[in-house]
Structures are given as C-alpha cells and as structure tokens.
Amino acid sequence: MHREQRQKRFTYFRADATEAIKLQAALSAFVSHCDTLLQRKQDITVTEGSTVRTQLINHHEEDGFFFGEFLSFEAGKTPQALNPEAFDQEEVPLENLLDNLSDDQRREVIDGICYIGVLGEHIVMTQALSLGVRDFEGYLNRMLQASPDVPHGTVFQLVREVPASTQDKLKGAKSISIGSPLATVVTDTREHTDDKGGLKKRKKRMLLKDSRAIDAVKSITGCNLDEFTADDALDLASLKVQVDISYRRYSAKREENMIEDLSRALRDVPDDNLSIKLHNRGEIRGDKLFLWTMKSVEYIGGAAVRESVRQRMREWLRELSSQGTIS
C-alpha cells in the first residue's frame, strides 16, 4: 500500500464533568467492562436529523494517555462496514476491513472515522464528517453510563471556556485584536404558507449597529455618519472598525509585559469582538479558548495510521501543557 504524509487538523476541548471523575478515567473504566463492539454501540440522532451508528472500534492506553478510534456511519446506509461477526470482537482490524470494501464504501468509512486522545480532562479530536462535536458529546455520556465505576448521573461537556489556571499564563500571546463591526446584517429565515398552501422560506433582514464603532469612525475621519439612514448603512455591513495591537519578542531575555498585562485585563471584557491570538495557532475569543493545530500524519491507502495519529496527539497535548496553555 502507498504510504504518504498528510496534514491533519486536531482540535482541543476540555471535558468538564458534573462529578469528581476525569474523562480519561471514565473511558478506562468503560472499556474494562464493555469489551466488545456490540456493548460499545450507540445510535445517535445528529443535528441534521438522521440517525448515526457509532462504535468505539479500537482503543489504546499507555503511560496515562487514552487513545480511541471511533467509526460512525448513517444507520442502514453502510451495513457492510461492520459485519455481524465484528460486533463480537474487542477490536476491528480497520486496515483489513478497508481492503474488502469498494472505493465508495471505503471513502464513506474513512470519512466516518473520529480519533480522540485524552489526558485527564483534556481531549484532542479529529471530527468525522458524520459526527459533530455535540453529537459525540451525547454519545460519550450515554456510553459511559454503562460503566459501574462512573458515578451515577455524571455528565460530561466538551467546553472551550478559558480555565482559571490559564488567565495568568498568557506568555504565548502574540497579538490582541479589538474590533467591532460598524453594521451587521442578520438574516432570519422563516417558513410561511403561500397562496397555494405550500411552505416557503422567507428571509428577513435586520440591522445591528454598534455605536462605539460609529463614534470611532467619526473621531478618526471627521465623517458625520448621522446623515445616513439604516438602509444606507446596509451597504456598510462588511466594514469593520478594528484596533490591532501586536508585538515581537526581540530577545528571550527581555521582559515585555505590556501585551501580557493587556491580555489579562481584556480577558474580563465580555465582548465577542475581542480576540487574543496565541503563538500556538490558538485564539481566545471573549471567554472561549480555541486551540487547533495541523500535524503531519502518516497515511496508507488514503487512511490515517492510528499509531501516527496517536503519537501526534500526545505530542501536541504535551506542547500545550509545557507552554502553560493547559494544566
């Protein structure tokens, strides 16, 4: 089979629990009691309304790091992806499974694979096309309730909120972006009945204006925007007033605290238009921490090699921890 290196996107979440148990411990407890695919199968109603069948088909835990390989596909659409005999197994040799599928079936199975790496409460994942983040979250909660070692009523939530431990560890900030749109058009689509009794969708436009941005334009340009009507302002919907603060560290020994002080101060500003960009491809938007990265992963025959994905996930979590972004 042809081997190649490709870039794969990893996304970070924190898994908060309502009880005192980490996601990694809950997953470890679950697989110790549910050792076949049949016990690890769940049907999920995804956002679009179709039913997705999901199995944890392979898992690996070593040195305090849990790695899972999930397969999701629309129920009834790809029944040949896993034959009945596979449900009695503990793992599925995915490479052998792909070799026996047609090109269309192979593509569908590859698109339905979701990898996760878990270290304590920290989770990094690659999303499958057929499985959204919230659907995967729902699957985890239903699945883990089957383990007697998970406290009854435990609910896990994948969140992006900036943890308190990160607020004073923003050494990775490379720029701050403070901005506000001058005008924004919001399209509200609603169904209505036409003269023939049929359902149609009607789009309604609404204008949201930010007076601070308009005042800023007035102050800088001297332009009197009061003479414009709301309809005129619709043409300005893509115009943004943006204040950017950026810096470069010229010396590792030099203390440059202004950007970090601003970062900490602005962390408490409840404004969706505030973003703090980090060196590690991350970004803080308001009170949300968005972390992602592109890693080179080995592929064979169009499918990612699980050992390569596992290694890159583990390395990235260690990088985030050493940088103080997560703890």
If you search the block for the tokens 């020994």, which residue do you land on? Answer: 253
Pick from 291, 1, 326, 13: nearest CA to 164: 326
- pLDDT for 18 equals 93
- The whole-angstrom separation of Cα 111 and Cα 69 is 13
Q: Which of 65-79, 163-177, 246-260 has the highest mean pLDDT?
A: 65-79
Give the mean model confidence (pLDDT) for residues 88-99.
74
pLDDT at 317 over 70: yes
Residue 94 contacts by C-beta under 8 Å, 6 or more apart in sequence? 57, 58, 69, 71, 113, 303, 306
More confident call, 66 vs 283: 66
> Tens of pLDDT along 10-53?
999 999 999 999 999 999 988 888 878 777 777 666 555 667 77
pLDDT of residue 145: 80
- Contact (Cβ atoms closer than 8 angstroms) between residue 24 and residue 118: yes
pTM of the model: 0.70
pLDDT at 297 over 90: yes
- Within 8 A by CB and 6+ apart from 77, the residues are 108
Percent of the chain with pLDDT over 70: 63
Q: Where are the domains of the chain?
A: 3-161+290-323, 163-179+242-281, 183-238
